[in-house]
């Protein structure tokens, strides 16, 4: 699509998008991670940019190229992702698509853990990571007018998404089933449910690019209603 500056529907809109996994270090050579590819978040960043938004993409480690015209801030850990998001506010819209690690290793070893004997196994202690979506949703005067989160579920998708919406204080949740048999994690398709305060709407299975474009369109409609 091509929009001249005067017709681009998100012209002048600042958008913050998080994407990808986070890597939580164990020692200088090891980390804990998850299977997020970053595809859905990158597709959303690209779709918003195409509609004229000024997009900052805060991304954990992925193999994806930065979408054209998007400003990417690359991070590793959840703590770095939160700091980068805070720096990128204020924004008009925030979409948190990152698969942020819920826990980090509480004391990262400064040297590589060694396997000193067959009987002594390393013990890892965890600390809870900050919830970036909840933090953006509760950011008082800096809160974006529209805050959208994802809910990665393997069961009771709608029910879990509704309680997440309330718990996090965001406006919409895009819920998806990430059970291994769905192929969502790493795959190109996604089957989602859009949940807001008033109810939920299920979208047919479509590519992650199509989900991104449909979501971007919904964002345009929502911002129009607010003006």
DSSP-assigned beta bridge partners for residue 146: 93
| CA pair distance 192, 178, nearest whole angstrom | 10
Nearest distance, CB of residue 148 and ligand CTP, angstroms:
8
**Burial class for 1, CB neighbours closer than 10 Å (0-12, 13-18, 19+):** exposed
Instruction: Pick between residue 102 and residue 221 the one whose CB is nearest to Ca ion.
Output: 102
Least distance between ligand CTP and beta carbon 18 (Å): 6
- Select the binding partner of residue 211 from ligand CTP, Ca ion, none (C-beta < 5 to 8 A, by kind): none
- Alpha-carbon dihedral angle through residues 130, 132, 134, 136, given to the nearest 10 degrees: 130
The option from ligand CTP, Ca ion, none interacting with 149 (CB < 5 to 8 A, set by class) reads ligand CTP
131 is in an annotated binding site: yes
Q: Coil, strand or helix: which one is 54?
A: strand
Residues lying near Ca ion in the complex (CB under 5 A) are found at: 102
Spatial distance between the Cα atoms of 29 and 115, rounded to a whole number of angstroms: 14
92 is in an annotated binding site: no
- Annotated ligand binding at 112? The verdict is yes
Q: How far is the CB of 4 from ligand CTP (least distance, A)?
A: 33
Binding residues for CTP: 102, 112, 130-133, 150, 164, 168
């Amino acid at each position: 699509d091509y929009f001249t500056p005067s017709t681009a529907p998100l012209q002048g809109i600042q958008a913050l998008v998080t994407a990808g996994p986070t890597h939580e270090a164990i020692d200088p050579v090891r980390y804990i991670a998850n299977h997020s590819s970053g595809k859905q978040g990158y597709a959303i960043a690209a779709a918003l940019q195409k509609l004229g938004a000024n997009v900052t993409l805060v991304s954990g480690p992925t193999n994806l190229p930065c979408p054209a015209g998007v400003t990417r801030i690359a991070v590793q850990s959840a703590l770095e992702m939160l700091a980068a998001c805070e720096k990128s506010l204020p924004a008009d819209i925030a979409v948190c698509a990152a698969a942020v690690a819920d826990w980090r290793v509480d004391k990262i070893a400064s040297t590589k853990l060694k396997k000193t004997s067959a009987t002594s196994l390393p013990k890892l202690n965890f600390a809870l990571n900050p919830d970036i979506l909840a933090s953006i949703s509760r950011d008082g005067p800096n809160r974006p007018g529209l805050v959208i989160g994802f809910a990665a579920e393997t069961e009771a998708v709608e029910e879990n998404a509704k309680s997440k919406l309330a718990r996090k204080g965001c406006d919409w949740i895009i819920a998806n089933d990430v059970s291994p048999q769905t192929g969502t994690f790493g795959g190109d398709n996604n089957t989602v449910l859009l949940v807001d305060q008033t109810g939920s709407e299920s979208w047919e299975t479509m590519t992650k690019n199509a989900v991104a474009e449909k979501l971007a369109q919904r964002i345009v409609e929502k911002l129009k209603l607010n003006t």
